[in-house]
Amino acid sequence: MANPSLLILAGDGIGPEVMAEVKKIIGWFGAKRGVTFDVTEDLVGGCAYDAHGVPLTDATMAKAQEVDAVLLGAVGGPKYDKLDFSVKPERGLLRLRKEMDLFSNLRPAQCFDALADFSSLKKEVVAGLDIVIVRELTSGVYFGEPRGIFVEGNERVGINTQRYTESEIARVARSAFELARKRANKVCSMEKANVMESGILWRDVVQEIHDKEYPDVELSHMYADNGAMQLVRWPKQFDVIVTDNLFGDVLSDCAAMLTGSLGMLPSASLGAPMANGRPKALYEPVHGSAPDIAGQGKANPIACVLSFAMALRYSFNMGDDATRVEKAVEKVLADGLRTADLMGPDGGTPITTTQMGDAILVALDASL
Protein backbone atom coordinates (compact mmCIF):
# COMPACT_ATOMS: atom_id res chain seq x y z
CA MET A 1 0.00 0.00 0.00
CA ALA A 2 1.38 3.41 -0.98
CA ASN A 3 2.50 5.81 1.71
CA PRO A 4 0.24 8.81 2.31
CA SER A 5 1.46 11.76 0.24
CA LEU A 6 1.86 15.38 1.30
CA LEU A 7 2.76 18.49 -0.67
CA ILE A 8 4.33 21.10 1.60
CA LEU A 9 4.07 24.73 0.48
CA ALA A 10 5.79 26.69 3.24
CA GLY A 11 5.30 30.04 1.52
CA ASP A 12 6.47 33.40 2.81
CA GLY A 13 7.41 35.18 6.03
CA ILE A 14 7.23 32.86 9.03
CA GLY A 15 5.82 30.07 6.85
CA PRO A 16 9.14 28.21 6.42
CA GLU A 17 9.92 28.52 10.16
CA VAL A 18 6.66 27.06 11.42
CA MET A 19 6.68 24.41 8.70
CA ALA A 20 10.15 23.28 9.79
CA GLU A 21 8.65 22.24 13.13
CA VAL A 22 5.86 20.31 11.41
CA LYS A 23 8.43 18.46 9.30
CA LYS A 24 10.10 17.32 12.53
CA ILE A 25 6.78 15.89 13.70
CA ILE A 26 6.25 14.18 10.34
CA GLY A 27 9.68 12.61 10.84
CA TRP A 28 8.70 11.55 14.35
CA PHE A 29 5.75 9.60 12.95
CA GLY A 30 8.09 7.70 10.65
CA ALA A 31 10.59 6.94 13.41
CA LYS A 32 8.25 6.28 16.34
CA ARG A 33 4.90 5.29 14.80
CA GLY A 34 6.00 3.52 11.63
CA VAL A 35 3.97 5.90 9.45
CA THR A 36 6.02 7.27 6.58
CA PHE A 37 4.68 10.15 4.52
CA ASP A 38 5.86 10.79 0.98
CA VAL A 39 6.64 14.50 1.21
CA THR A 40 7.36 16.85 -1.66
CA GLU A 41 7.95 20.59 -1.32
CA ASP A 42 7.34 23.53 -3.64
CA LEU A 43 6.71 27.28 -3.73
CA VAL A 44 3.57 29.37 -3.33
CA GLY A 45 2.94 33.08 -2.86
CA GLY A 46 5.63 35.72 -2.94
CA CYS A 47 8.52 33.26 -3.09
CA ALA A 48 6.92 31.64 -6.15
CA TYR A 49 6.54 35.06 -7.76
CA ASP A 50 10.21 35.82 -7.07
CA ALA A 51 11.26 32.55 -8.69
CA HIS A 52 8.74 32.20 -11.51
CA GLY A 53 6.85 35.49 -11.93
CA VAL A 54 3.56 33.91 -10.76
CA PRO A 55 2.27 33.11 -7.25
CA LEU A 56 1.61 29.47 -8.22
CA THR A 57 2.96 27.62 -11.25
CA ASP A 58 0.92 25.19 -13.32
CA ALA A 59 3.35 22.43 -12.31
CA THR A 60 2.79 23.09 -8.60
CA MET A 61 -0.96 23.19 -9.17
CA ALA A 62 -0.74 19.79 -10.87
CA LYS A 63 1.17 18.36 -7.88
CA ALA A 64 -1.52 19.66 -5.52
CA GLN A 65 -4.16 17.80 -7.52
CA GLU A 66 -2.25 14.52 -7.25
CA VAL A 67 -1.31 14.27 -3.56
CA ASP A 68 -3.47 13.14 -0.66
CA ALA A 69 -3.17 16.50 1.11
CA VAL A 70 -1.51 19.91 0.82
CA LEU A 71 0.02 21.60 3.87
CA LEU A 72 0.52 25.35 3.48
CA GLY A 73 2.35 27.83 5.70
CA ALA A 74 1.52 31.45 4.86
CA VAL A 75 1.73 33.83 1.90
CA GLY A 76 2.30 37.52 1.38
CA GLY A 77 4.29 40.42 2.72
CA PRO A 78 4.66 44.18 2.22
CA LYS A 79 7.27 43.77 -0.55
CA TYR A 80 4.48 42.44 -2.78
CA ASP A 81 1.83 45.06 -1.97
CA LYS A 82 2.32 47.00 -5.21
CA LEU A 83 2.11 43.98 -7.52
CA ASP A 84 -0.78 43.76 -9.95
CA PHE A 85 -3.78 42.11 -8.32
CA SER A 86 -3.52 39.11 -10.68
CA VAL A 87 -0.08 38.11 -9.36
CA LYS A 88 -0.32 39.04 -5.69
CA PRO A 89 0.80 36.19 -3.38
CA GLU A 90 -2.74 35.58 -2.15
CA ARG A 91 -3.83 34.68 -5.68
CA GLY A 92 -1.78 31.50 -5.38
CA LEU A 93 -3.80 30.40 -2.37
CA LEU A 94 -7.07 31.34 -4.03
CA ARG A 95 -6.12 29.34 -7.11
CA LEU A 96 -5.43 26.27 -4.98
CA ARG A 97 -8.80 26.57 -3.28
CA LYS A 98 -10.69 27.17 -6.52
CA GLU A 99 -9.07 24.60 -8.81
CA MET A 100 -9.05 21.88 -6.13
CA ASP A 101 -12.70 22.82 -5.52
CA LEU A 102 -12.16 23.04 -1.76
CA PHE A 103 -15.65 24.16 -0.91
CA SER A 104 -15.74 23.38 2.82
CA ASN A 105 -13.45 25.37 5.13
CA LEU A 106 -13.27 24.05 8.70
CA ARG A 107 -12.11 26.64 11.23
CA PRO A 108 -11.91 25.27 14.78
CA ALA A 109 -11.86 27.70 17.70
CA GLN A 110 -10.62 25.85 20.76
CA CYS A 111 -9.53 27.54 23.97
CA PHE A 112 -6.88 25.56 25.83
CA ASP A 113 -7.27 25.84 29.60
CA ALA A 114 -3.72 27.18 29.96
CA LEU A 115 -4.56 30.12 27.68
CA ALA A 116 -8.05 31.02 28.92
CA ASP A 117 -6.73 34.24 30.48
CA PHE A 118 -5.42 35.43 27.10
CA SER A 119 -8.89 36.06 25.70
CA SER A 120 -10.31 39.56 25.92
CA LEU A 121 -13.49 37.93 27.26
CA LYS A 122 -14.00 36.69 30.80
CA LYS A 123 -12.37 33.37 31.53
CA GLU A 124 -15.65 31.64 32.35
CA VAL A 125 -17.02 32.66 28.94
CA VAL A 126 -14.21 31.02 26.93
CA ALA A 127 -12.72 28.30 29.16
CA GLY A 128 -13.31 24.95 27.50
CA LEU A 129 -14.56 26.51 24.26
CA ASP A 130 -14.51 24.02 21.36
CA ILE A 131 -16.48 25.06 18.28
CA VAL A 132 -16.01 24.71 14.52
CA ILE A 133 -17.10 27.16 11.83
CA VAL A 134 -17.75 25.53 8.44
CA ARG A 135 -17.33 28.24 5.80
CA GLU A 136 -18.31 27.80 2.15
CA LEU A 137 -15.11 28.63 0.33
CA THR A 138 -15.42 28.60 -3.46
CA SER A 139 -18.49 30.67 -4.27
CA GLY A 140 -20.41 33.64 -2.92
CA VAL A 141 -19.43 37.28 -3.14
CA TYR A 142 -15.69 36.63 -3.54
CA PHE A 143 -16.24 34.80 -6.82
CA GLY A 144 -19.59 36.00 -8.20
CA GLU A 145 -19.91 37.82 -11.51
CA PRO A 146 -20.20 40.60 -12.48
CA ARG A 147 -17.40 42.09 -10.42
CA GLY A 148 -14.94 44.92 -10.86
CA ILE A 149 -14.57 48.69 -10.73
CA PHE A 150 -16.45 50.48 -13.49
CA VAL A 151 -17.15 54.07 -14.51
CA GLU A 152 -20.78 55.10 -14.53
CA GLY A 153 -21.42 58.69 -15.50
CA ASN A 154 -18.78 60.76 -13.76
CA GLU A 155 -17.86 58.39 -10.94
CA ARG A 156 -16.40 54.95 -10.28
CA VAL A 157 -18.56 52.07 -9.04
CA GLY A 158 -17.26 48.94 -7.30
CA ILE A 159 -19.34 45.80 -7.89
CA ASN A 160 -19.24 42.37 -6.28
CA THR A 161 -22.01 39.83 -6.73
CA GLN A 162 -23.29 37.42 -4.08
CA ARG A 163 -24.27 34.26 -5.95
CA TYR A 164 -25.07 30.74 -4.77
CA THR A 165 -26.60 27.70 -6.42
CA GLU A 166 -28.62 25.08 -4.57
CA SER A 167 -25.93 22.46 -5.11
CA GLU A 168 -23.20 24.72 -3.69
CA ILE A 169 -25.22 25.29 -0.54
CA ALA A 170 -26.24 21.65 -0.24
CA ARG A 171 -22.72 20.24 -0.32
CA VAL A 172 -21.35 22.53 2.37
CA ALA A 173 -24.46 21.85 4.48
CA ARG A 174 -23.77 18.11 4.20
CA SER A 175 -20.17 18.75 5.26
CA ALA A 176 -21.40 20.54 8.39
CA PHE A 177 -23.98 17.88 9.25
CA GLU A 178 -21.45 15.08 8.82
CA LEU A 179 -19.03 16.91 11.10
CA ALA A 180 -21.77 17.50 13.67
CA ARG A 181 -22.50 13.77 13.82
CA LYS A 182 -18.92 13.26 15.02
CA ARG A 183 -19.25 15.99 17.64
CA ALA A 184 -22.28 17.24 19.60
CA ASN A 185 -24.84 16.62 16.81
CA LYS A 186 -25.75 20.30 16.64
CA VAL A 187 -25.55 22.80 13.74
CA CYS A 188 -26.39 26.49 13.58
CA SER A 189 -26.72 27.92 10.07
CA MET A 190 -26.06 31.64 9.68
CA GLU A 191 -27.09 33.99 6.83
CA LYS A 192 -29.05 37.20 6.26
CA ALA A 193 -32.36 35.85 4.99
CA ASN A 194 -34.09 38.99 6.27
CA VAL A 195 -32.45 41.23 3.64
CA MET A 196 -30.73 38.99 1.05
CA GLU A 197 -32.33 36.64 -1.48
CA SER A 198 -29.20 34.49 -1.39
CA GLY A 199 -29.79 34.20 2.35
CA ILE A 200 -33.37 33.02 1.79
CA LEU A 201 -32.13 30.32 -0.58
CA TRP A 202 -29.35 29.38 1.85
CA ARG A 203 -31.81 28.88 4.71
CA ASP A 204 -34.26 26.92 2.55
CA VAL A 205 -31.63 24.54 1.16
CA VAL A 206 -29.95 23.90 4.53
CA GLN A 207 -33.36 23.10 6.03
CA GLU A 208 -34.23 20.78 3.12
CA ILE A 209 -30.96 18.84 3.41
CA HIS A 210 -31.50 18.55 7.15
CA ASP A 211 -35.07 17.28 6.87
CA LYS A 212 -34.29 14.74 4.12
CA GLU A 213 -30.86 13.46 5.16
CA TYR A 214 -29.93 14.53 8.70
CA PRO A 215 -33.10 14.71 10.84
CA ASP A 216 -31.10 13.34 13.78
CA VAL A 217 -28.94 16.49 13.91
CA GLU A 218 -30.26 19.49 15.84
CA LEU A 219 -30.52 22.44 13.44
CA SER A 220 -31.07 26.12 14.20
CA HIS A 221 -30.93 29.23 12.01
CA MET A 222 -29.56 32.64 12.96
CA TYR A 223 -28.94 35.93 11.18
CA ALA A 224 -25.19 36.36 10.79
CA ASP A 225 -25.01 39.73 12.53
CA ASN A 226 -26.77 38.27 15.56
CA GLY A 227 -24.40 35.31 15.28
CA ALA A 228 -21.43 37.65 15.65
CA MET A 229 -23.00 39.16 18.74
CA GLN A 230 -23.79 35.74 20.21
CA LEU A 231 -20.22 34.54 19.61
CA VAL A 232 -19.01 37.35 21.84
CA ARG A 233 -21.85 37.03 24.37
CA TRP A 234 -21.80 33.26 24.98
CA PRO A 235 -19.83 31.27 22.37
CA LYS A 236 -20.29 27.92 24.11
CA GLN A 237 -23.94 27.85 22.99
CA PHE A 238 -22.59 26.75 19.57
CA ASP A 239 -20.86 23.63 18.34
CA VAL A 240 -20.83 23.59 14.51
CA ILE A 241 -21.69 26.80 12.64
CA VAL A 242 -22.21 26.67 8.86
CA THR A 243 -22.26 29.85 6.81
CA ASP A 244 -21.35 31.39 3.47
CA ASN A 245 -17.99 32.65 2.23
CA LEU A 246 -18.21 36.30 3.32
CA PHE A 247 -19.89 35.78 6.68
CA GLY A 248 -17.64 32.79 7.32
CA ASP A 249 -14.59 34.95 6.75
CA VAL A 250 -15.78 37.48 9.33
CA LEU A 251 -17.26 35.08 11.89
CA SER A 252 -14.28 32.72 11.91
CA ASP A 253 -11.87 35.57 12.64
CA CYS A 254 -14.19 36.73 15.40
CA ALA A 255 -14.23 33.21 16.85
CA ALA A 256 -10.46 32.95 16.48
CA MET A 257 -9.85 35.86 18.82
CA LEU A 258 -12.10 34.36 21.49
CA THR A 259 -9.28 31.91 22.10
CA GLY A 260 -6.74 34.63 22.82
CA SER A 261 -4.19 34.08 20.05
CA LEU A 262 -4.48 33.87 16.28
CA GLY A 263 -1.20 31.92 16.36
CA MET A 264 -2.98 28.92 17.86
CA LEU A 265 -5.59 28.15 15.25
CA PRO A 266 -5.52 25.67 12.35
CA SER A 267 -7.86 25.23 9.41
CA ALA A 268 -8.83 22.61 6.85
CA SER A 269 -10.25 23.20 3.37
CA LEU A 270 -11.93 20.07 2.03
CA GLY A 271 -13.36 19.10 -1.33
CA ALA A 272 -15.01 16.10 -2.93
CA PRO A 273 -13.59 12.58 -2.36
CA MET A 274 -10.85 11.40 -4.72
CA ALA A 275 -10.62 7.90 -6.21
CA ASN A 276 -9.02 6.62 -2.99
CA GLY A 277 -11.93 7.95 -0.93
CA ARG A 278 -9.92 10.74 0.68
CA PRO A 279 -11.22 14.28 0.21
CA LYS A 280 -9.12 16.75 -1.70
CA ALA A 281 -7.67 18.80 1.11
CA LEU A 282 -5.52 21.77 2.02
CA TYR A 283 -4.48 22.47 5.60
CA GLU A 284 -3.10 25.79 6.81
CA PRO A 285 -2.73 27.89 9.94
CA VAL A 286 -5.10 30.84 10.25
CA HIS A 287 -2.32 33.34 10.96
CA GLY A 288 -0.61 35.34 8.24
CA SER A 289 3.00 35.51 7.14
CA ALA A 290 4.01 37.98 9.91
CA PRO A 291 7.02 39.35 7.99
CA ASP A 292 7.87 41.67 10.89
CA ILE A 293 9.04 38.70 13.00
CA ALA A 294 10.24 36.37 10.24
CA GLY A 295 13.66 34.85 10.88
CA GLN A 296 13.74 35.87 14.54
CA GLY A 297 12.61 32.64 16.19
CA LYS A 298 9.51 34.36 17.58
CA ALA A 299 6.87 32.62 15.48
CA ASN A 300 4.43 30.25 17.13
CA PRO A 301 4.37 26.92 15.22
CA ILE A 302 1.36 25.50 17.08
CA ALA A 303 -1.28 26.51 14.51
CA CYS A 304 0.71 24.81 11.77
CA VAL A 305 1.24 21.73 13.97
CA LEU A 306 -2.48 21.56 14.69
CA SER A 307 -3.18 21.92 10.95
CA PHE A 308 -1.12 18.77 10.43
CA ALA A 309 -3.19 17.12 13.18
CA MET A 310 -6.31 18.00 11.18
CA ALA A 311 -4.71 16.34 8.15
CA LEU A 312 -4.16 13.20 10.20
CA ARG A 313 -7.83 13.22 11.19
CA TYR A 314 -9.59 14.19 7.96
CA SER A 315 -7.25 12.98 5.19
CA PHE A 316 -5.48 9.97 6.67
CA ASN A 317 -8.08 8.48 9.03
CA MET A 318 -5.61 8.71 11.91
CA GLY A 319 -7.91 10.26 14.51
CA ASP A 320 -6.12 8.75 17.49
CA ASP A 321 -2.80 10.13 16.32
CA ALA A 322 -4.39 13.52 15.64
CA THR A 323 -5.56 13.54 19.25
CA ARG A 324 -2.05 12.49 20.31
CA VAL A 325 -0.60 15.61 18.64
CA GLU A 326 -3.30 17.86 20.12
CA LYS A 327 -2.70 16.46 23.61
CA ALA A 328 1.05 17.01 23.20
CA VAL A 329 0.39 20.67 22.40
CA GLU A 330 -1.92 20.92 25.40
CA LYS A 331 0.77 19.39 27.66
CA VAL A 332 3.42 21.87 26.49
CA LEU A 333 1.12 24.81 27.17
CA ALA A 334 0.11 23.43 30.56
CA ASP A 335 3.82 23.24 31.42
CA GLY A 336 4.04 27.00 30.87
CA LEU A 337 6.18 27.03 27.74
CA ARG A 338 5.41 30.12 25.68
CA THR A 339 6.43 31.63 22.36
CA ALA A 340 6.47 35.43 22.21
CA ASP A 341 2.79 35.76 21.26
CA LEU A 342 1.73 33.75 24.31
CA MET A 343 3.69 35.65 26.95
CA GLY A 344 1.15 37.23 29.25
CA PRO A 345 0.42 38.26 32.82
CA ASP A 346 0.81 34.69 34.10
CA GLY A 347 4.45 34.69 33.07
CA GLY A 348 5.59 31.39 31.63
CA THR A 349 8.88 30.21 30.19
CA PRO A 350 9.79 32.09 26.98
CA ILE A 351 10.98 29.80 24.20
CA THR A 352 11.77 30.07 20.49
CA THR A 353 9.96 28.59 17.53
CA THR A 354 12.42 25.68 17.39
CA GLN A 355 12.21 25.05 21.12
CA MET A 356 8.42 24.87 20.92
CA GLY A 357 8.68 22.23 18.21
CA ASP A 358 11.22 20.28 20.28
CA ALA A 359 8.97 20.46 23.36
CA ILE A 360 6.06 19.04 21.38
CA LEU A 361 8.31 16.16 20.27
CA VAL A 362 9.20 15.44 23.91
CA ALA A 363 5.49 15.40 24.79
CA LEU A 364 4.83 13.06 21.86
CA ASP A 365 7.56 10.71 23.10
CA ALA A 366 5.93 10.71 26.52
CA SER A 367 2.60 9.74 24.96
CA LEU A 368 3.92 6.38 23.68
CA distance 368 to 364: 7
DSSP per residue, 32-60: HS----EEEEE--THHHHHHHSSSS-HHH
Tell me if residue 194 falls in helix, strand or coil. Answer: coil
What single letter denotes the amino acid at residue 180?
Answer: A
Catalytic residue among 101, 117, 225, 335: 225
> Cα dist. 301→289, 292, 296, 340, 355 in Å?
12, 16, 13, 11, 10
Residue 225 annotated in active site: yes
Task: Taking each helix axis as running N to C, give the angle between helix 15-32 and helix 353-366, from 0 to 180 degrees, rounded to the nearest 10.
Answer: 20
Catalytic residue among 142, 164, 283, 314: 142
Tell me if residue 172 falls in helix, strand or coil. Answer: helix
Q: How many CB atoms lie within 10 A of CB 193?
A: 19
CA distance 361 to 363: 5
Close Cβ partners of 324 (under 8 Å, ≥ 6 residues apart):
364, 367
Round to the nearest angstrom and report the end-to-end CA distance of the chain.
Answer: 25
CA distance 243 to 131: 14
Catalytic residue among 42, 68, 244, 249: 249
Residue 142 annotated in active site: yes
Cα–chain center distance at 34: 27
CA distance 8 to 359: 22
Catalytic residue among 117, 130, 253, 335: 253
Catalytic residue among 88, 192, 298, 331: 192
CA distance 81 to 87: 10
Residue 42 annotated in active site: no
Identify which of 177, 222, 182, 231 has the alpha carbon closest to the alpha carbon of residue 203: 222
Catalytic residue numbers read 142, 192, 225, 249, 253
